[in-house]
Amino acid sequence: DAKTTQPTSMDCAEGRAANLPCNHSTISGNEYVYWYRQIHSQGPQYIIHGLKNNETNEMASLIITEDRKSSTLILPHATLRDTAVYYCIVENNNDMRFGAGTRLTVKP
């Protein structure tokens, strides 16, 4: 079973920030939080991951709460091409269990 809870769907206006939440209240101390996205009919694409600290790369920012029980993926300026299913995953020892993810729709 997936160890994360995400909203089923979200909408975001083009050019605005998209904030995708994820709950992982049973996360263990050595488990990483990973985010992937999947555009229709393609393989999942790695976005970002983190353990305790907030992380930022060219695609997104990851904010992890101090107790590590939840996190937020931030796409700072969403474009239409960011429309996809976003998966939040807690990974430990090569075990990556995907849930159903959040379907993000970016609207013009």
Residues found near another protein in the complex (CB under 8 A): 2, 32, 34, 36, 41-46, 49, 85, 87, 91, 94-101
* Residues 72, 106, 82, 10, CA torsion sign: positive
For residue 16, the minimal CB distance to another protein (Å) is: 26
Nearer to another protein, 14 or 32 (CB): 32
- Are 78 and 32 contacting, i.e. CB atoms less than 8 angstroms apart? no
Residue 87 C-beta: closest distance to another protein, Å: 6
Nearer to another protein, 64 or 101 (CB): 101
Kindly tell me which of 9 and 15 has the beta carbon lying closer to another protein.
Answer: 9
80: phi then psi, degrees, rounded to nearest 5: -60, -30
Cα distance between residue 98 and residue 75, in whole Å: 20
Output the smallest distance, CB 43 to another protein, in A: 4
State the nearest-atom distance from the C-beta of 31 to another protein, in Å.
Answer: 11
Q: Which amino acid is at 98?
A: F
Nearer to another protein by Cβ, of 31 and 82: the residue is 31
**In the 8-state DSSP scheme, what is residue 5?**
B
Secondary structure of residue 20 in the 3-state scheme: strand
